[in-house]
Amino acid sequence: MDDIKVHAIWLAQDDPKKNTAVLASRRGDLTLHKDMRKIPRKGVILEPLCGKIFGPEDHELLTIKHGSLVGLDCSWAQIEDSVETVMKRTRLVPRMLPLLLAANPVNWGKPSRLTTAEALAAALYLAGRKEQAKNVLGAFRWGSRFFELNHEPLEAYSLAKSSSELVDLQFEFFDIEHLR
C-alpha cells in the first residue's frame, strides 16, 4: 500500500522553530509550500471551519485517485482570515476532522485545537494509514501521546462507514454541548 502524499500550506504565522509542519517537512514526512501556486491540484485540504467531516467517502480521493492530503498551517488566532484567503485560491476538497483532543504542549487536552501535524496524522489514521500517521508525529516528544489520548475515538472513527456516522460517534466520546 503506497503512502498518501502529504503537504502543508505554510502561512508563516507561527514561530518556525516550534511549527509542526516545518519540523515534519524537515524529516521528509510532508512537503511544505509557501507558494499557493505550488500546492497539489487534486485532493483534500484540512480546514476546521468547513462544516463537512473527513469521512470514508473521501478516502478514495486520497488512495485510489492518488490525491494529496493538504494541511493548512496557520495560527489559531488568525484561522478565519487564513481559511478565507486559502480557500479562494484552491479547488481542493475542504474537510474538517471529527473531534479529537490535542496532545501538543500548547493546547494539551483541548478539543480540536490540533497542530497541523496532529491533524494530518489523524486524517491519515482515519484513511487507514496508521503507520504513516505515526511517522508524521514521530518527530515530536508528545507525538505518541496523541494516539494514546485519542485511541478509542480514532479506532471508532476509522471503522465508521460514512461522515454522518462520524458526526454521531463524536457524541459517544465527547460531551459536545459543554465544548461550545
pTM: 0.92
Q: Which residues in the chain land under pLDDT 70?
A: 176-180
User: Angle CA(110)–CA(136)–CA(112) in degrees, nearest 5?
Assistant: 20
Q: pLDDT by residue (tens digit) across 32-49?
A: 999 888 889 899 999 988
- All three cell numbers of 33: 509550500
Euclidean distance between CA atoms 25 and 123, whole angstroms: 17
pLDDT at residue 176, as a whole number: 64
- All three cell numbers of 157: 472513527
Cα 127 → chain centroid: 11
pLDDT at residue 73, as a whole number: 85
- Cell 494509514, residue? 129
Euclidean distance between CA atoms 145 and 104, whole angstroms: 9
Euclidean distance between CA atoms 180 and 173, whole angstroms: 15
Amino acid type, 13: Q
Q: Residue 32 phi/psi, 5° resolution? A: -95, 135
pLDDT at residue 87, as a whole number: 84
Sheet of 5-10, strand order: 31-33, 5-10, 68-73, 43-46, 93-95
Amino acid type, 90: T
- On whether the CB atoms of residues 100 and 115 are closer than 8 A, the answer is no
Closest CA to 90 of 147, 50, 37: 37
